[in-house]
Amino acid sequence: MENTIVTEQLNENTINIDIASTLDIVKMLNNEDLKIALAVQKELDSIASAVDLISNNFLKGGRLLYFGAGTSGRLGVLDASECPPTFNTPFEMVQGIIAGGDKALRFAIEGAEDSCELARQDFERLNIKAFDTVVSISASGNANYVVEILKLAKEKKVKTIALTSNPSAEIAKIADVSICIETGPEAISGSTRLKAGSAQKMVLNMLSTASMIRIGKVYKNLMVDVKPTNIKLKKRAVAIVSEIAAVSHDIAEKMLEKNSYNVKEAVLQLMYKYSFGKASEILLNNNGILRKALAECSKENF
């Protein structure tokens, strides 16, 4: 297996995992997992470059589009699906596209990762524009689907990012920014749902979270754009407003109930006794960035 992709090579540390005790099996898996964060750390410069590219395009009205097959595609869909409740983004702002469509989230679709035609169909369906950002996710980085997606994006002069575990990946040669997390041979040869998949999940978290921070969807380290769609998130919104406005949870909750749980407006209403309309206007004038809105209000009320 000398010429195979690293994730397909035999891992000498787990060569006898099939005859190990249950405790030793999970120890071996854990020991391999300990290597993931260090591998990600080596690519922080590239990850930061990708975040700058994504956030700059967000500010121009662009979208973040993840493409992948199998595990990589599922991870892209997962990260995208978490953005609306976390940052109150519209559904279309961050999207995950898996080769073979939504059915492929639960079932393996034969040949999907090898299909250039599926890539062309998905690319055309999304009507990808100049300020969108395309991310191809693939442990090997050689699947026809993700390679074709990047080629199509380059033809349209759309900014591209490659996320892979293979330094020789084809997608790494095409993308504007390449992120290669070298996690080494998997505990089970070729099972990239293990270390490679965990590394992809970590990086995708960074890409979306850091980009949202850069465009002002976080104040300090608080989720001020949270969309309170359930009891837990409503409690979180109350705690956030209480913390920033320095009021009790009861007062924060009453204001949020009154203004339909708009967190940032509630902060300005409580701190400066503004009407909802006035608070909304100030936020709009500051691109929805609470820190800038608070600075403006502080000057007005000095």
Q: Please report, for the chain, how many H helices and E strands are present, in that order.
A: 13, 5
Burial label for 266, CB within 10 Å (0-12, 13-18, 19+), is: buried
**Which pLDDT score, from 0 to 100, does residue 299 have?**
83
Per DSSP, helices labelled H in the chain are 22-33, 36-41, 44-59, 70-87, 116-125, 144-155, 170-174, 195-214, 231-245, 249-258, 263-272, 276-285, 290-300
Distances 155 to 58, 159, 160, 258 between C-alpha atoms, Å: 21, 10, 11, 50
10-residue mean pLDDT profile of the chain (302 residues): values are 73 95 98 97 98 97 97 97 93 96 88 92 96 97 96 97 96 97 94 95 98 95 92 96 97 97 96 96 94 91 70
**Which pLDDT score, from 0 to 100, does residue 302 have?**
63
Spatial CA neighbour of 196 closest among 236, 150, 137: 137
CB 174 within 8 A of CB 190: no
**Phi/psi-derived region of residue 288, left when phi > 0, alpha when psi is between -120 and 50, beta in every other case:** left
Q: Is 155 tagged catalytic?
A: no
CB 39 within 8 A of CB 183: yes
CB 100 within 8 A of CB 69: yes
**Which pLDDT score, from 0 to 100, does residue 215 have?**
94
User: Which residue in the list 82, 243, 281, 296 is annotated as catalytic?
Assistant: 82
Give me 179's structure tokens: 């992120």
Listed by start position, the domains of the chain span 6-214, 231-300
**Which pLDDT score, from 0 to 100, does residue 132 have?**
98
CATH number of 231-300: 1.10.8.1080
Radius of gyration over every alpha carbon of the chain, rounded to an integer in angstroms = 22
**Which pLDDT score, from 0 to 100, does residue 52 have?**
98
Spatial CA neighbour of 50 closest among 155, 168, 204: 204
Burial label for 278, CB within 10 Å (0-12, 13-18, 19+), is: middle
User: Which residue in the list 32, 43, 113, 253 is annotated as catalytic?
Assistant: 113
**Which pLDDT score, from 0 to 100, does residue 176 have?**
98
Question: Does the predicted model carry a pTM greater than 0.95?
Answer: no
CATH 3.40.50.10490 applies to domain 6-214? yes
Q: What residue type is 187 in one-letter code? A: A
E strands, 82-150, are 94-98, 133-137
Q: Is 12 tagged catalytic?
A: no
**Which pLDDT score, from 0 to 100, does residue 2 have?**
47
The owner of tokens 């040949």 is 111
